[in-house]
Amino acid sequence: MKLYSFIRALVWLPVRLSFNMRVEGRENIPEEAFLLCANHISAVDPLILAIAFPMPVRFVAKEEILKIPFLRLIGKIDRMIPVARGTADLKAMRACMNAINEGDNVGIFPQGTRTEGKPQAEQALPGTGLIIMRTKAPVVPVSIMAKDNKIRLFRKTRVVIGKPVSYEEYSTAGSSAEAAKFCFKRVCDRF
Protein backbone atom coordinates (compact mmCIF):
# COMPACT_ATOMS: atom_id res chain seq x y z
CA MET A 1 0.00 0.00 0.00
CA LYS A 2 2.97 2.32 0.41
CA LEU A 3 3.59 2.20 -3.34
CA TYR A 4 -0.11 2.92 -3.98
CA SER A 5 0.03 5.97 -1.68
CA PHE A 6 3.27 7.17 -3.24
CA ILE A 7 1.92 6.97 -6.80
CA ARG A 8 -1.37 8.56 -5.75
CA ALA A 9 0.56 11.47 -4.23
CA LEU A 10 2.55 11.88 -7.47
CA VAL A 11 -0.48 12.00 -9.76
CA TRP A 12 -2.94 13.73 -7.40
CA LEU A 13 -2.38 17.31 -8.60
CA PRO A 14 -1.98 16.56 -12.35
CA VAL A 15 -5.19 14.48 -12.36
CA ARG A 16 -7.14 17.07 -10.35
CA LEU A 17 -6.05 19.81 -12.75
CA SER A 18 -6.39 17.79 -15.96
CA PHE A 19 -9.97 16.81 -15.23
CA ASN A 20 -10.90 20.00 -13.34
CA MET A 21 -12.11 17.76 -10.49
CA ARG A 22 -14.53 18.86 -7.80
CA VAL A 23 -15.14 16.35 -5.02
CA GLU A 24 -18.18 16.71 -2.77
CA GLY A 25 -19.17 14.63 0.24
CA ARG A 26 -15.85 13.32 1.57
CA GLU A 27 -17.41 13.53 5.04
CA ASN A 28 -19.65 10.61 3.99
CA ILE A 29 -16.76 8.14 3.69
CA PRO A 30 -17.12 5.52 6.45
CA GLU A 31 -14.30 4.46 8.77
CA GLU A 32 -14.88 0.73 8.18
CA ALA A 33 -14.32 -1.22 4.95
CA PHE A 34 -16.87 -0.30 2.30
CA LEU A 35 -18.04 -1.09 -1.20
CA LEU A 36 -17.82 1.94 -3.48
CA CYS A 37 -20.54 1.83 -6.17
CA ALA A 38 -20.22 4.34 -9.00
CA ASN A 39 -21.56 4.95 -12.47
CA HIS A 40 -19.13 4.22 -15.29
CA ILE A 41 -18.77 6.81 -18.07
CA SER A 42 -15.07 6.78 -18.92
CA ALA A 43 -11.93 4.63 -18.96
CA VAL A 44 -10.38 7.04 -16.44
CA ASP A 45 -13.13 6.58 -13.82
CA PRO A 46 -10.97 4.37 -11.53
CA LEU A 47 -8.18 6.95 -11.64
CA ILE A 48 -10.61 9.78 -10.83
CA LEU A 49 -12.08 7.79 -7.92
CA ALA A 50 -8.61 6.85 -6.62
CA ILE A 51 -7.80 10.56 -6.46
CA ALA A 52 -11.20 11.46 -4.93
CA PHE A 53 -10.85 8.96 -2.06
CA PRO A 54 -8.03 9.60 0.44
CA MET A 55 -7.64 5.90 1.26
CA PRO A 56 -6.78 2.95 -1.04
CA VAL A 57 -9.62 1.38 -3.00
CA ARG A 58 -9.25 -1.92 -4.85
CA PHE A 59 -11.14 -1.74 -8.13
CA VAL A 60 -12.94 -4.48 -9.99
CA ALA A 61 -11.94 -4.34 -13.67
CA LYS A 62 -12.29 -6.45 -16.78
CA GLU A 63 -9.56 -9.06 -16.99
CA GLU A 64 -8.65 -7.98 -20.53
CA ILE A 65 -6.79 -4.94 -19.21
CA LEU A 66 -4.21 -7.28 -17.69
CA LYS A 67 -3.00 -7.98 -21.24
CA ILE A 68 -1.73 -4.39 -21.51
CA PRO A 69 1.66 -4.19 -19.70
CA PHE A 70 1.25 -0.68 -18.24
CA LEU A 71 -2.30 -1.41 -17.02
CA ARG A 72 -1.18 -4.78 -15.64
CA LEU A 73 1.41 -2.91 -13.54
CA ILE A 74 -1.24 -0.44 -12.32
CA GLY A 75 -3.53 -3.38 -11.57
CA LYS A 76 -0.85 -5.00 -9.40
CA ILE A 77 -0.20 -1.78 -7.50
CA ASP A 78 -3.94 -1.27 -6.92
CA ARG A 79 -4.40 -5.00 -6.22
CA MET A 80 -7.14 -4.93 -8.85
CA ILE A 81 -9.76 -7.65 -8.82
CA PRO A 82 -10.10 -9.01 -12.38
CA VAL A 83 -13.54 -10.08 -13.59
CA ALA A 84 -14.58 -12.05 -16.67
CA ARG A 85 -17.31 -9.87 -18.13
CA GLY A 86 -20.44 -11.45 -19.50
CA THR A 87 -20.27 -14.34 -17.03
CA ALA A 88 -21.25 -14.98 -13.45
CA ASP A 89 -17.61 -14.79 -12.30
CA LEU A 90 -17.84 -16.42 -8.88
CA LYS A 91 -14.07 -16.21 -8.39
CA ALA A 92 -14.18 -12.40 -8.77
CA MET A 93 -17.20 -12.15 -6.47
CA ARG A 94 -15.42 -14.22 -3.80
CA ALA A 95 -12.31 -12.04 -4.18
CA CYS A 96 -14.44 -8.91 -3.60
CA MET A 97 -16.10 -10.42 -0.54
CA ASN A 98 -12.77 -11.60 0.89
CA ALA A 99 -11.19 -8.17 0.31
CA ILE A 100 -13.99 -6.38 2.18
CA ASN A 101 -14.01 -8.96 4.97
CA GLU A 102 -10.23 -8.44 5.34
CA GLY A 103 -10.73 -4.68 5.71
CA ASP A 104 -10.03 -3.49 2.16
CA ASN A 105 -12.27 -1.01 0.35
CA VAL A 106 -13.55 -2.25 -3.01
CA GLY A 107 -14.72 -0.13 -5.93
CA ILE A 108 -17.22 -1.54 -8.40
CA PHE A 109 -19.19 -0.25 -11.35
CA PRO A 110 -22.59 -1.99 -11.06
CA GLN A 111 -23.33 -1.42 -14.77
CA GLY A 112 -20.44 -3.74 -15.61
CA THR A 113 -19.23 -1.56 -18.47
CA ARG A 114 -19.06 2.06 -19.57
CA THR A 115 -22.43 3.45 -20.54
CA GLU A 116 -23.51 6.64 -22.24
CA GLY A 117 -26.29 8.85 -21.03
CA LYS A 118 -27.99 9.05 -17.68
CA PRO A 119 -27.43 5.94 -15.52
CA GLN A 120 -30.51 3.90 -14.60
CA ALA A 121 -30.91 1.75 -11.48
CA GLU A 122 -32.08 -1.13 -13.71
CA GLN A 123 -28.59 -1.27 -15.26
CA ALA A 124 -27.11 -2.67 -12.03
CA LEU A 125 -26.02 -6.27 -12.49
CA PRO A 126 -27.10 -8.86 -9.91
CA GLY A 127 -23.50 -9.88 -9.10
CA THR A 128 -23.02 -6.52 -7.42
CA GLY A 129 -26.03 -7.28 -5.23
CA LEU A 130 -24.60 -10.64 -4.24
CA ILE A 131 -21.40 -8.95 -3.03
CA ILE A 132 -23.46 -6.31 -1.22
CA MET A 133 -25.72 -8.82 0.56
CA ARG A 134 -22.96 -11.27 1.52
CA THR A 135 -20.53 -8.73 2.97
CA LYS A 136 -23.14 -6.58 4.76
CA ALA A 137 -20.66 -3.72 4.27
CA PRO A 138 -21.74 -0.11 3.90
CA VAL A 139 -22.23 0.85 0.25
CA VAL A 140 -20.91 4.28 -0.72
CA PRO A 141 -22.85 5.61 -3.72
CA VAL A 142 -20.65 7.81 -5.91
CA SER A 143 -21.83 9.81 -8.92
CA ILE A 144 -19.28 10.82 -11.53
CA MET A 145 -20.74 13.76 -13.40
CA ALA A 146 -19.54 15.66 -16.46
CA LYS A 147 -21.12 17.71 -19.21
CA ASP A 148 -22.99 15.39 -21.61
CA ASN A 149 -21.77 12.49 -19.40
CA LYS A 150 -18.39 12.62 -21.15
CA ILE A 151 -15.16 13.23 -19.29
CA ARG A 152 -12.84 15.49 -21.21
CA LEU A 153 -9.55 17.13 -20.33
CA PHE A 154 -9.90 20.48 -18.57
CA ARG A 155 -13.69 20.24 -18.44
CA LYS A 156 -15.36 20.18 -15.05
CA THR A 157 -15.75 16.71 -13.52
CA ARG A 158 -17.80 16.39 -10.34
CA VAL A 159 -17.45 13.44 -8.01
CA VAL A 160 -20.32 13.35 -5.53
CA ILE A 161 -19.86 10.94 -2.61
CA GLY A 162 -23.21 10.11 -1.04
CA LYS A 163 -24.11 8.96 2.44
CA PRO A 164 -23.36 5.26 2.91
CA VAL A 165 -26.24 2.83 2.51
CA SER A 166 -26.29 0.48 5.51
CA TYR A 167 -27.09 -3.22 5.51
CA GLU A 168 -30.28 -2.44 7.42
CA GLU A 169 -31.40 -0.26 4.50
CA TYR A 170 -30.51 -2.45 1.52
CA SER A 171 -31.39 -5.80 3.14
CA THR A 172 -35.06 -4.81 2.90
CA ALA A 173 -34.75 -5.02 -0.90
CA GLY A 174 -35.06 -8.80 -0.71
CA SER A 175 -33.03 -10.40 -3.51
CA SER A 176 -29.45 -9.60 -4.40
CA ALA A 177 -30.59 -8.18 -7.77
CA GLU A 178 -32.97 -5.81 -5.97
CA ALA A 179 -30.24 -4.83 -3.49
CA ALA A 180 -27.97 -3.87 -6.41
CA LYS A 181 -30.73 -1.73 -7.93
CA PHE A 182 -31.56 -0.21 -4.53
CA CYS A 183 -27.96 0.91 -3.93
CA PHE A 184 -27.28 1.98 -7.52
CA LYS A 185 -30.45 4.09 -7.47
CA ARG A 186 -28.65 6.34 -4.93
CA VAL A 187 -26.01 6.97 -7.61
CA CYS A 188 -28.59 7.55 -10.36
CA ASP A 189 -30.85 9.89 -8.38
CA ARG A 190 -28.30 12.74 -8.67
CA PHE A 191 -28.66 12.94 -12.46
Q: What is the pLDDT of residue 63?
A: 87
Judge whether 35 and 137 are in contact, CB under 8 Å.
yes
Residue 190 has phi, psi (to 5 degrees) of -80, -10
Q: What's the mean per-residue pLDDT of the chain?
A: 92
Q: What is the pLDDT of residue 75?
A: 78
Domain boundaries, the chain: 2-188
CATH number of 2-188: 3.40.1130.10
pTM (2 d.p.)? 0.91
Task: Read off the pLDDT of residues 51-106 as tens digits, 9 standing for 90 and up.
Answer: 999 999 999 988 888 888 887 888 788 889 988 877 778 899 999 999 999 999 99
Name, in order, each residue with C-beta under 8 angstroms of 102's C-beta and a sequence gap of 6 or more: 33
Neighbouring-strand partners of residue 36: 107, 140
| Distance, first Cα to last Cα, the chain | 34
Average of per-residue pLDDT across 143-148: 95
Name, in order, each residue with C-beta under 8 angstroms of 64's C-beta and a sequence gap of 6 or more: none
